[in-house]
């Protein structure tokens, strides 16, 4: 769904690129200063209003700061506690939620979706839970149905998960499950319904109970642009036309399992500390999350169970991109995690997080 755009009035953006915060570990002051300098250059290069960064190494936060403005309209500085929409970074938590159910014996990655959700098309029997997580289900999108564009705009923006899946169910599969990797939303919508059914509570409530609350992630909540989220301005920004505009992102009344979370750099740092120290999932489950999916042909795709898989400086790195503005990266063998949250769509957070990672990977 393409977000609407709204123009901001005249403003002065880079009144200050000074960091708002401090390094959590004074021993890394040299690296932190290099991060400050690097982030300042990147913000100027990409004209990013505000950003939060956190770096975790060996179970400790060694850098955690906010830079620039969280809200241009009100001149509010970004902090490491500031809340940003994290968009598709949400998918890593969908993977975690699924593996929690697997560890509890309530689901398997090879469970057919038709065994969990009633009244799905018989042709979906070959779709497994892992197909939903890995974007290999062959499912079309809700918006592919001819009647979708004929719906009133308010209805399109407020379809329930069940209504959306009913539209998808009327369309043929794009390909047999496992044949192709095709990044899409509908698979995660169905996955959210499956998690809710097996957990006996909503997808959002399950994540809050099993992940967010135990880890003290009090700034992490579901909600699109229309939802009032404490600590988060109502919108982010973009520069598609050259001038700064509001970025309106809507996805309906149900917490979106694929792109609906809001979080802070500090909350995400807490998550990666817990993940890296075995407090979120068993090692076997983490390895499943971070194993590249194999298509029916045997070809591997650089994507796991809700996690992208990459290599940087000959090191394995897992994580995800979100909305062209946020990126989380975890180097499992180096026990290093980098969180970059920006409030500008198209901020190149992917490049920025690798630039920050290089500072710590090179440190002796």
At residue 12, the pLDDT reads 34
Instruction: Specify whether the CB–CB gap between 79 and 66 falls below 8 A.
Output: yes
Model confidence pLDDT, tens digit, residues 133-185: 999 999 999 888 988 887 887 777 778 899 999 999 999 999 999 999 999 89
At residue 28, the pLDDT reads 61
Going by C-alpha positions, the residue among 49, 40, 46, 37 that lies closest to residue 78 is 49
Q: The whole model's pTM is what?
A: 0.91
- What distance in Å separates the CA atoms of residue 260 and residue 98, rounded to the nearest whole number? 16
Going by C-alpha positions, the residue among 183, 103, 104 that lies closest to residue 141 is 183
Average pLDDT over residues 88-99: 98
* Alpha helical stretches, state H, the chain: 29-46, 90-103, 129-133, 153-156, 161-169, 186-199, 203-207, 265-276, 283-289, 349-361
| Cα-based distances in Å from 167 to 65, 158, 233, 289 | 44, 14, 33, 30
Superfamily of domain 5-85+202-281+307-361: DD-peptidase/beta-lactamase superfamily (3.40.710.10)
Model confidence pLDDT, tens digit, residues 6-49: 334 333 333 344 455 544 444 468 999 999 999 999 999 999 99
Domain segments of the chain as ranges = 5-85+202-281+307-361, 93-199
Model confidence pLDDT, tens digit, residues 179-226: 999 998 999 999 999 999 999 999 999 999 999 999 999 999 999 888
């Amino acid at each position: 769904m393409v977000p609407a755009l709204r123009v901001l009035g005249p403003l002065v953006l880079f009144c200050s690129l000074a960091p708002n915060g401090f390094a959590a570990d004074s021993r890394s002051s040299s690296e932190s200063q290099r991060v400050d300098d690097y982030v300042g250059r990147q913000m100027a290069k990409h004209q990013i209003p505000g950003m939060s960064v956190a770096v975790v190494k060996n179970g400790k936060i060694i850098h955690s700061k906010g830079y620039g403005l969280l809200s241009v309209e009100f001149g509010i500085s970004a902090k490491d506690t500031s809340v940003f929409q994290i968009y598709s970074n949400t998918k890593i938590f969908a993977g975690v939620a699924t593996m929690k159910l697997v560890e509890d014996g309530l689901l398997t990655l090879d469970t057919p979706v038709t065994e969990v959700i009633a009244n799905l098309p018989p042709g979906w029997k070959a779709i497994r839970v892992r197909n939903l997580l890995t974007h290999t289900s062959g499912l079309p999108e809700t918006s592919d149905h001819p009647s979708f564009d004929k719906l009133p705009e308010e209805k399109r923006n407020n379809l329930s998960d069940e209504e959306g899946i009913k539209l998808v169910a009327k369309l043929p599969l794009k390909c047999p499950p496992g044949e192709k990797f095709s990044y899409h939303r509908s698979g995660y919508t169905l996955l959210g319904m499956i998690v809710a059914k097996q957990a006996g509570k909503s997808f959002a409530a399950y994540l809050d109970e099993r992940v967010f609350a135990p880890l003290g992630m009090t700034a992490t909540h579901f909600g699109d642009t229309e939802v009032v989220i404490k600590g988060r301005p109502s919108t982010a920004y973009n520069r598609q036309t050259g001038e700064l505009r509001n970025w309106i992102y809507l996805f309906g009344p149900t917490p979106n399992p694929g792109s609906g979370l809001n979080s802070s750099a500090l909350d995400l740092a807490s998550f990666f500390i817990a993940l890296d120290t075995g407090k979120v999932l068993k090692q076997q489950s983490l390895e499943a999350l971070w194993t590249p999916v194999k298509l029916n042909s045997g070809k591997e795709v650089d994507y796991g169970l809700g996690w992208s898989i990459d290599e940087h400086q000959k090191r394995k790195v897992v994580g995800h991109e979100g909305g062209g503005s946020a990126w989380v990266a975890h180097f499992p063998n180096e026990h290093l995690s980098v969180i970059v949250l920006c409030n500008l769509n198209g901020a190149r957070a992917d490049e920025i997080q690798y630039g920050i990672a290089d500072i710590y990977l090179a440190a002796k």
